[in-house]
Every structure is written in structure tokens, then in C-alpha cells.
Amino acid sequence: MAYKQLLLLLFMVLAMLPAGAQNYEEDKVQPYTLPDPLVFTDGSRVKNKRQWKKKRRAEILELFEHEMYGRSPGKPENMTFQVFEQDTQALNGKATRKQITVFFTGKPDGPQMDILLYLPNQVKGKVPVFLGLNFQGNHAVHSDPAIKLSPNWVWAGGAGVVDNISTEKSRGATASRWPIEMILERGYGVATVFANDIAPDKKDNVTDAVRALYPELQNRDDNFSTMSAWAWGLSSALAYLETDKQIAAKKVMLFGFSRMGKAALWAGARDERFAMVISNESGGGGAALSKRKYGEDVERLTRGNPHWFASNFKKYNKNEEALPFDQHMLLALIAPRPLYIASAEEDRGADPYGEFLAAKAADPVYRFLGTEGLPSQEFPPLNQPVHGRIGYHIRTGKHDVTEYDWKQYLNFADKHLGNKRP
């Protein structure tokens, strides 16, 4: 083999090697200092709620946009919606199912996404709705045979098995994470969008889906990242939900699991129309503190999935101490709206303790704005949730979404949205 070929092979092998070993030992966490969300970058302190809303909040948002998640475009000027299917007797009469296509450019041959929406038939009046992105296509969240199969690539089999065209193999594949009947029985609706409709979860996808519409936001250090595209797509989904007369538009709640939890937090931070935000094991780049360097650190995030974040974020690989913010400040951007952070005992990569510490560090902003914040300043025992304006639990089990998790979210929504069981 020629020297150049050997060199090329070596580079390819090195590129495929995993990032440095992750830390899973608490006693190896070095001392760190978190920036105070209530202190401006010039060192002066926020004096009142108006200063927070008009100045400090904007300052923090700018930091995250420039250094981590990247810029996002505004609402598409020509975006249109089409309800292409509606059944008022879905799920054996329990629900009304709607399937809606969002045309981002208003053109049927342009980028688009499908919203799957279930509303409980037993509720009189407008319905609060949980909105979240899914991993494998709308048809994967329930075995309902009427759900349109996604035309985009999905995981059709086990982990890492990808089909370029969706198949029946993945119908209902993630139903355990979306207990739709239970949510409907509690008087809430469910809306979901396949994340890959908005932006495929793969590297070098700047010419795919919605990111292709904004070439001016690429090839720059604060580029329109995949994570920002997903968050932007959630706001676009809300734009439709606001037009649906059956939905309580001011009671739309964001839900996200894992990387979609990261996107939900960023969407909720950017878009104050969302009434509540739920992060289910979002970990590094989501709810967990980066400066702890525990579990999924910045290098692993940016090396394993460079498309998720803006190019600027790579500056902090093995250099988290230089971050001018941390994830507690992302959580603070959601204040004073209700926020729920959930962890799992065996999900060490997501750093459950780091997620709790971020919630705890966001608490002063919630209290400054006149809410109860996080009721417990001590890490709670397993399966013993705390529900203030900030909610938190760590449950037994692994990286997943369970019925236990959803029961807590429904109870939390009941508390803050005043929803009465039908």
C-alpha cells in the first residue's frame, strides 16, 4: 500500500476513535465556579424583574446563541398548514386524531413536517397539549394503523439499523415512551413531530430539510445547528397549534427525551409562548452542568455529534472552565414558567446529579421572579419527586421514558395548569 494511502487510512481510523474516557466518579470532579445568572457580564447585579426580562435574559440568550446552539431564523414568512387527515373516533372512540402537514415555504415540493395530534374526546372545551419530537417517525409512537408512515429515514430495527424508507417494522416501536391513552385519560392532548422531518440527525446535513432554506446561517461559527433547527421546528409546530380551535394555545407544554430533551430546553428558552418545559434525561448539552466534566462532556458531544451544536462550541472541548455560562442559565431562561427535570439512576452518562445541581442553581432566578423555585436543596431519594415551580425526580432504571415519568409530568401539569381530570 502506498504511503499516501496508509496516511489516509490512519486519519480515517483516528477520526473514528472515541473521544477521551468519560468521568463517572464523583470524587474526580474538580472544583468549579458557576456564573451567577443574576449578574450581568459587566459585574453589576440585576436589580428588578424588568432588568431581568429586558436585559439580563437577552444577554444570556445571546451567549447561548453565539457560543453553543447557533443562530436561528425567524418564523417562515410563507409557512402554511394542511390538515390532511382527521378522525373523530380514533383509538376506539377515545380520541380525535389529526395529521397535519406544515409547509415551511408554502410549497408542496419544499421542506415540510408532519404533526400527529391526538385530542381527548371526553374533554369539553379547549385542551392543553404536550408537544415533543420523536426519534423514529410519528408512526412509531403508537400502533394505530392510520398513522402515516414517515417518508424519511428511520431506525426500522434495533439500535443503529437504518432504513432509507420507513416500513411497518417501526410502527409502534417507541409506544412505551408515549403512553397516549393514559395522557388522554388525564385530559391532555399529545402532538408529536418526527425530528428528521425538520433536520436529519446526521453529520453534514446543511443541505437537508429546513437548514437548506437558510444558507446565510451556515459556514459561520454561530451556524444554524441541528439542535437549533429542531427547536425552531417545535416553535413552527406551535404556530399551527395556535390556530387549532380545539387547543388551549397558552397551555402547550414541551416534552423531550435525551437529545430531544436538549432541543426542548432550547426551544423553551427561546420561545416564551410555551407554557411548560419537560426535560427527560437530556444530560450534557441539556440540563446537566458542563463544568462538572462528568459523563457526556463537551468534547464527546461535539466530536460524536458535531452537527448538534454551533461550531463555536468546540472551543470548549476539554476547556469547560472557559465557558461563560453553564446549563443552569439555560434553565433560568425558562423562568418563571414551570420546568421539570427528570433523571434515571443508571443513566450515568446524562449525569443525574449534575442535572439536579443545574436545577438547584436555576432556583435563585425563579425565586427572584416571585415563584417557589425548587422546593428541595438536597438531592432527593430515588422515586421521590419534588414539585415546586421547578420539578425534579430521579427514578430507578436506565435511559428511557417510563410510565412513572409520565405520571409525574401529568401531576406537575395538573398543579401548574389547573387542569381538572375529566
How far the first Cα of the chain sits from its last, in Å, is 72
- Pairing mode, if any, of strands 189-194 and 112-120? antiparallel
350 phi, psi to nearest 5 deg: -85, -5
Q: Cα separation of 318 and 316, whole Å?
A: 6
Q: Whole-angstrom Cα distance, residue 96 to residue 88?
A: 4
Q: For residues 208 and 48, is the Cβ–Cβ distance under 8 A?
A: no
Q: Is 399 a catalytic residue?
A: yes
The residue from 66, 311, 376, 399 that is catalytic is 399
Q: Is 176 a catalytic residue?
A: no
CA distance 194 to 200: 10
User: C-alpha distances in angstroms, 227 versus 271, 319, 370, 419?
Assistant: 14, 21, 31, 31
Q: What is the largest CA-CA distance in the chain?
A: 74
DSSP letters spanning 372-383? ---S-SSPPPTT
Residues found in the chain: 422
- Residue of 72, 258, 279, 343 with catalytic role: 258
Residues designated catalytic: 258, 399
